[in-house]
């Protein structure tokens, strides 16, 4: 078999041990696998006329970084609108909206994303503060959690939304005032879709180019793969088109959603879709929701938040969720369940325990987010073999060490002090997988690993960390995006290591990410990214 790629003069870092391998070079065969490790002379001899040879001049090479939780297609679409994530107060938001309105044509929609509910302070979250700016303008402003949005008066009018609605999703709501008039706040996907379905959509060509551009940016940041937590709309077709054209810059595992109301036929369809895909993407697993978010009062908590909210599950009948987990488990299908509140996490673990008691194959189920849990929940992850999928930058950027933020105030001191317990979960024996949840938080993986280590706001690293005792070590953070991601996918036999026969998905850095200080890590140069033995990013001068 011919040699596709040769990397020379490299420091090969093993995330299993945290040490450098004795070899300094590697060769990749035409099947996209590592063919050999050795010294520069041995490996250079394997190069043929068509081989790409790269002298890395001492760069540090790790297995390719994998984001354990992201939304490529919806993220590529959402982040094409107005970025409101930098806005610190209502005046900032009004100014940003006013600038955008000036450039709109007649009848054009205004789309925004990343709006932090903390800008409202003690005021209720609603569209009223922006009414003067958005008078007559159809606008849809997604809050940072992507579980809620604000719709302008004109957008609500176009959608025919003039009062409360009932949804299959128990926590979905068109929030209304005391007189039954919508405030503009839409909770959860079912409510948001009322407005989204009347808004203009990008063309297929625009969607494809936006996705391709986003994936190229991810590769430039060092990512070689991602666990995509949705298969909505035309996303699978888009992945297929990019893959067929050789333009898919990440290896993707895609988990379609299973929503409340899914019947037996729907479950059979989810099972039948497993394993379909292409060379670099595959439908693998199923994504479910057990609750919403703490910030908008739709999480499922064992005790209500300070507003008396977050008291019920996403599924109107949680037992229906438990039944479906059992069906998928018996079929050998791994599940990933969004569970943020303590009651939601507990119910997911109970459901997995019941499924495992019924027999069937060993399946690696996951819980996504796990923002606050009590002590007695921690040990159950390892006991049940359930993986903890965490997004530490959410804690860094959306909460505050002094607990004055919306998330912390809603929970109260006791539960806010149990924020994103990465350290405790790891110490209890759980496998901790790290990700960004992009577009909720930025996707650069070095920022994710840095946040897991320092737990400080990325925009102001001088601020105090939130729960520094929950920080991971540098090696644990690297494992969270290499070996843990491979294990979560059941691919530890072919991914997450630098060894012959393993996939040649590789990331090369200007220095050692394990010895780079956490606060400097996001700026560590990514020199080379390799997917399936092909270069997807190459820095100037490499």
pTM for the model: 0.93
Contact, 235 vs 208, CB < 8 A?
no
Residue whose C-alpha is closest to residue 471's, from 427, 441, 415, 515: 427
- Dihedrals φ, ψ of 428, to 5°? -80, -5
Q: Which pLDDT does position 145 carry in this prediction?
A: 84
Structure tokens belonging to residue 525? 């140069």
Rounded to the nearest 5 degrees, what angle is found at the Cα of 254, between the Cα atoms of 253 and 255?
125
Contact, 393 vs 436, CB < 8 A?
yes
* Distinct helix (H) and strand (E) counts, the chain: 18, 24
Q: Which pLDDT does position 338 carry in this prediction?
A: 98
Task: Give the up-direction half-sphere exposure of residue 155: CA atoms within 13 A in the CB hemisphere.
Answer: 29
DSSP three-state, residue 314: coil
Contact, 223 vs 214, CB < 8 A?
no
Contact, 299 vs 307, CB < 8 A?
no
CA 443, CA 267: separation in Å to the nearest integer?
Answer: 31
Q: Which pLDDT does position 122 carry in this prediction?
A: 86
List beta partners, residue 35.
Answer: none
Residues of the chain with pLDDT under 50: none
CA 125, CA 129: separation in Å to the nearest integer?
Answer: 9
Q: Which pLDDT does position 415 carry in this prediction?
A: 95
HEC per residue, 400-469: CCCCCCHHHHHHCHHHHCCECCHHHHHHCCCCEEECCCECCCCCCHHHHHHHHHHCCCCCCCCCCCCCHH
Q: Which pLDDT does position 15 carry in this prediction?
A: 98
């Amino acid at each position: 078999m011919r040699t596709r790629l040769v990397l020379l003069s490299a420091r090969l870092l093993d995330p299993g041990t945290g040490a450098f391998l004795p070899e300094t070079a590697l060769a990749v065969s035409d099947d996209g696998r590592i063919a050999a490790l050795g010294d520069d002379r041995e490996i250079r001899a394997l190069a043929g006329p068509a081989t790409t040879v790269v002298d890395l001049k001492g760069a540090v090479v790790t297995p390719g970084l994998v984001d354990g939780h992201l939304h490529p297609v919806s993220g590529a679409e959402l982040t094409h609108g107005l970025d409101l994530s930098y806005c610190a107060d209502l005046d900032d938001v009004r100014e940003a909206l006013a600038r955008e309105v000036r450039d709109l044509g007649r009848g054009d929609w205004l789309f925004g994303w990343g709006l932090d509910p903390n800008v409202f302070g003690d005021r209720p979250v609603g569209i009223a503060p922006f009414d003067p700016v958005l008078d007559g303008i159809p606008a849809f402003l997604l809050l940072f959690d992507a579980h809620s949005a604000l719709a302008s008066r004109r957008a609500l009018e176009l959608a025919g939304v003039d009062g409360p609605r009932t949804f299959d999703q128990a926590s979905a709501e068109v929030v209304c005032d005391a007189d039954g008039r919508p405030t503009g706040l839409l909770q959860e996907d079912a409510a948001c879709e009322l407005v989204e379905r009347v808004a203009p959509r990008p063309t297929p060509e625009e969607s494809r180019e936006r996705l391709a551009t986003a994936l190229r940016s991810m590769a430039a940041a060092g990512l070689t793969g991602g666990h995509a937590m949705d298969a909505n709309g035309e996303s699978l077709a888009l992945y297929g088109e990019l893959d067929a054209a050789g333009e898919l810059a990440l290896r993707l595992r895609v988990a379609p959603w299973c929503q409340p109301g899914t019947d037996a036929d729907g479950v059979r369809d989810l099972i039948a879709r497993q394993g379909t895909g292409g060379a670099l993407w595959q439908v693998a697993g199923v994504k479910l929701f057990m609750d919403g978010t703490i910030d908008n009062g739709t999480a499922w908590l064992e005790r209500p938040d300070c507003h008396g909210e977050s008291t019920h599950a996403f599924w109107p009948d949680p037992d229906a969720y438990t039944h479906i987990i059992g069906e998928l488990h018996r079929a050998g299908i791994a599940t990933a369940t969004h569970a943020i509140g303590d009651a939601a996490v507990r119910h997911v673990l109970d459901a997995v325990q019941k499924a495992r008691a019924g027999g069937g194959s060993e399946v690696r189920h996951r819980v996504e987010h796990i923002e606050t849990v009590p002590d007695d929940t921690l040990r159950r992850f390892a006991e049940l073999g359930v993986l903890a999928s965490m997004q530490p930058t959410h804690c860094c950027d959306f909460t505050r060490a002094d607990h004055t933020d919306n998330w912390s105030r809603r929970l109260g001191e006791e539960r806010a002090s149990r924020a994103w317990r990465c350290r405790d979960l790891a110490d209890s024996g759980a496998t901790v997988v790290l990700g960004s949840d992009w577009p909720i938080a930025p996707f650069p993986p070095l920022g994710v690993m840095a946040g897991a280590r320092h737990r400080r706001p990325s925009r102001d690293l001088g601020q105090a960390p939130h729960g520094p005792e929950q920080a991971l070590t540098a090696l644990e953070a690297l494992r969270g995006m290499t070996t843990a991601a491979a294990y979560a996918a059941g691919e530890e036999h072919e991914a997450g290591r630098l060894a012959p026969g393993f996939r040649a998905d590789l990331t090369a850095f200007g220095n050692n990410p394990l010895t780079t200080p956490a606060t400097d890590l996001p700026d560590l140069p990514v020199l080379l990214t390799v997917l399936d033995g092909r270069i997807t990013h190459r820095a100037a001068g490499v």
